[in-house]
Structure formats: C-alpha cells, structure tokens
Structure 1
Amino acid sequence: MRSDITRRAALALALGLLALPAHAQEAGTKPLRIGIIGAGKIGGTIGTLWVRAGHEVMFSSRHPEELKGLVEGLGARARAGTPAEAIRFGDAVFVAVPYKAYPQLGADHGEALRGKIVLDAGNATQARDGDLHAEVAANGIGATSAKFLAGARLVRAFNAANYRIFEANANRPAPRMAVPIAADDAAALELGGRLVADAGFDPVPVGMLKDADRFAMGSAGFGHNLSAPDLRAKLGLAP
C-alpha cells in the first residue's frame, strides 16, 4: 500500500511538471537516442519529428535495408536497424506496429524491453486484430499492452489521432495541438511528455495506464485536434 501511495505521489509530481510551459520543461535537456519499432506511417512521422528536434533515432524493421531512403533523407541523426538493435540503441523506445503484432513483439523482445521507457502508440481494431480487440474492450488498452510488454515502463502516447493529423499540426503556431498521455511510472510520464513536446505538441497527462481508455480508439477522447485547455475540458480534466 505504501509503495502504491509513493508511486501515485511521484506521478502527481510528474503531472505538475508537465503542466509547465514547454520551454520550461525542455530547459537543460540533452538529445536522446530513440529506438522505433515499426517505421511505417506513425513511426516514420513521429520519428522524423524527433530527428528534426535534434534527437538520434534508429528506425527499425525486419528488413532494415528497406529503410535506406528514409534515413538518408533525414541525415546523420537517423539510422536503420533491426528491432533488437533499436531496443539496445534507445534511451527510450517507440512502439508503432499493428496491435496484432504485440504478442509476438513481447515474446521476441519482452526481456530486452524490461525496464525501458516505452511509448506505446498501438490501437486495436476488430477487423485487423480479432480476439485482441475483444481483450482490449474487456480489460483496457493500457492493461493489455502492459500484459504483452511486461516490465516495460509504458507511456500511452501518439495513439489518439491519425498520423496525417500529427504530420500537419506538428510545431504549429500557438496554441499547439495537444496529445494525451498516460503512464503508471512518473519518470516515464515525464520523459514521454518531453518527447511529445519535442515532436511539436503539448502533452496532456490524463492519468495512469487504466485511464488511457479515455483517449483510446473508439472513445470520446479519440480523434481530436484541440489545444491543451480544450482537450482537458473535453476529457473532464482540471484546467
């Protein structure tokens, strides 16, 4: 009980830090190494934004040679590798694969992901993911991701809109587009918020992983292009 209270207190502190203006959050921070599992539309879009923000990014695929055009176009801070190499490379990892791949991802790389801060952008759809969609509906997206990526320090992020919306609105003039995030780990939440800000958006902490259902696909909090105050109001969060 005491450890849970301590964890919640630390999370509350992280929520407070993320309420600071982006320039206050980013002061004194250093570039990170980020490994991306899944270099498709969402992985490629957000990874490109991180490279442009000054981070080193390894995009990964089972066939990394197919990523040559992407990484060459982004310059020296971008590289390609396998998923295993991307996990080893990253101070943080971004998972951007179809949700049906999560069981195999956990089986193949779960041990390597244990203890890593992992931004989880996955969404489950009935047509594509079948029984996994039913499991998410029953248990919640945060709990289901935590089951398959057991031991990873998960942050739900970049799942609440289509990649085209992120691409079109990154680094827009104020008010910036808000991105909801949720995590059980305070340090993971803080780093996830920084990476959302570095990609050109305002992070809006929603709560713990169980609260990620509030902005999961199909929920009332999904699919919005709003400022941070408007998204907080939409989700019923304190201003």
Structure 2
Amino acid sequence: MRSKLVSRRAALALAAFVASGSAWAQSAAQPARIGIVGAGNIGGTIGGLWAKAGHEVMVSSRHPEELKGLVESLGPKARAGTPAEAIAFGHVVLIAVPYKAYPQLSADHGAALQGKTVIDAGNATQARDGEVYAEVKESGIAAVSAKYLRGARIVRAFNAANYKVFAKNAHRDGARMAIPLAGDDAGAVATVAKLVTEAGFDPVIVGPLSKADSFAMGSPGFGHDLTAAESGARLGVAR
C-alpha cells in the first residue's frame, strides 16, 4: 500500500487551496496547464510525467524550434514555446534552468511570474553557478530564490535528488518515493502537492519556504530515495 501524506499540514494546505477559489481546484477532472522554463533533464523528466497524467505541458527555451524531438517524446499533451509563452500558458510554472540563470530570468520574466504558482527546482553548484552560488552559501537557497522570484508563489520541489532518481522511481510499486516541498503560500503548496502526487510520488510538506534549505543540494536532506514516512522523520516533519 502506498504511503499517505506525512503531515497534517498537507491536509490543511489542501483545504486552504480548495477554499482559495482556484478554477483548477474546483474542477478535479480539468487538467492543469503547466509551463516549464527550461527543457533539460528535470524539465523533460517531470514534464513527461505530467503529460502522461493528462496535463497540458509547454516546455520552453529561447529556441523552441529545437525542441521538436523532446516534445514528440513527451506525447500529445506537450508542446514547445519560448519562456515568455510558457509562463503565460501555465496555471503553474516549473523553473528548471541552471541556477546561474536566475538573475537574468528575474530581469526578463520577473513581472510575468508575479502571482504565479512557481515550482522552483533549481540547485546551486559552485563549478557552474559562480556568483549566485556565493549568494546561496551566504544566505541560503530559499532566500536567494525568493529574491530572484519576488512576488511569485514559490514552492521548492523536485530539487532534492537527481533527475535519474525521479525517472526511475515515479509510480513505483509499493510505497512511493517522497518529494519534499516547502513554501509560504498554502494554496500554492497544495497545488504542488497535488501535482507531485500525479507525477507518481508522495509529497512531504516540510514547512515554510525557509525550510527548503533542509533538503537543498549539500544538505543532510538531499539525495535520498525515501518513503514519505522516512523522509518526514529525516526532515523533522511531525505526523
């Protein structure tokens, strides 16, 4: 039997989401529109899982004409666009670009992301991300994401493991793999928890956005293939 949501926070967040009057929440049979900024490993993997679940997905890059093969591999629910088109398209936006791109993403699309439910899947690495990595080391990734995605309803998720782990474990038999998530907006957290479930995992709501540092790359909570109960215990989530 697959495990349940670890925390009572999940049930409270789901209730808050329904109460918020979201058009998507009010129609359980209605697929979501998900814009994905970035067409790499995370975007392609998670986007493919959502497309198979029946959601409409737009993957994006500055050269969407180069995404024909990826879109075909994701199936009929997927399409390609520019980042601006993906952001406008999505009820929810997944950010799946290298973390060094966040300052430019903010400059180019920050206004369009304001008020959106944004799944922040990025991680900062020293070799790749330079000055932005230094910011993360000083302030924590939750604070830096909040800086560059200011005004968005940010939920950190799909960043606690390598994309290959997600691809291998989605919809696995037995207890599902846990996906930790953290955010300050109850409605956004509930939206993302629902999408995590439909991608084939169990959401573990860790708490507010500041708690995202507990499962960021380099933290003790990163890189584990755990059930929801195991993940909740590791991350200190009360049942």
RMSD over aligned CA atoms reads 2.0
Q: Secondary structure at the match of 1:217?
A: coil
Q: CA contact under 8 A between 1:14 and 1:187: conserved in structure 2?
A: no
Corresponding position: 1:231 with 2:228? no
Using structure 2 for the length normalisation, give the TM-score. 0.89
Partner in structure 2 of residue 203 of structure 1:
203
Deviation at 1:157, TM superposition (A): 0.3
Equivalenced residues, count: 224
Cα deviation, residue 13, structure 1: 7.5
Separation in 2 of the partners of 1:54 and 1:178? 21
Tell me the TM-score normalised to structure 1 length.
Answer: 0.89
CA distance in 2, matches of 1:99, 1:180: 19
Residue 66 of structure 1 corresponds to 66
User: Residue type of the partner of 2:32?
Assistant: L
2:33 counterpart residue number: 33
Structure 2: distance between partners of 1:233 and 1:161: 17
Partner residue in 1 for 2:221: 221
Per-residue CA deviations over 1:173-218 (Å, capped at 9, x if unaligned) read 1200000000000000000101111110000000111110000000
* Partner residue, 2:49: 49
Q: Secondary structure at the match of 1:48?
A: helix
Gaps of 5+ in 2: 1-6, 16-24
Q: Which has the higher contact order (CA 8 A, sep 6+)?
A: 2
Q: Is the 8 A contact 1:160 1:222 kept in 2?
A: yes
Distance 1:14 1:108 in 2: 34
| Cα distance in 2 between the residues matched to 1:176 and 1:96 | 23
Q: What are the ranges of 5 or more consecutive residues in structure 1 without an aligned counterpart?
A: 1-11
Alignment match, 2:179: 179
Q: Give how far 1:72 is off.
A: 2.0
Percent identical residues: 65
Equivalent AA in structure 2 for residue 106 of structure 1: S
CA distance in 2, matches of 1:138, 1:15: 30
Q: 2:11 aligns with which of 10, 16, 33?
A: 16
Q: Does structure 1 conserve the Cα–Cα contact (< 8 Å) formed by 2:13 and 2:187?
A: no
The equivalent of 1:149 in structure 2 is 149
Helix, strand or coil at the partner of 1:130:
helix
Kindly provide the amino acid, as one letter, of the partner of residue 90 in structure 1.
G
Instruction: Give the CA deviation at 1:18.
Output: 6.2
Post-superposition shift, 1:14?
Answer: 5.2
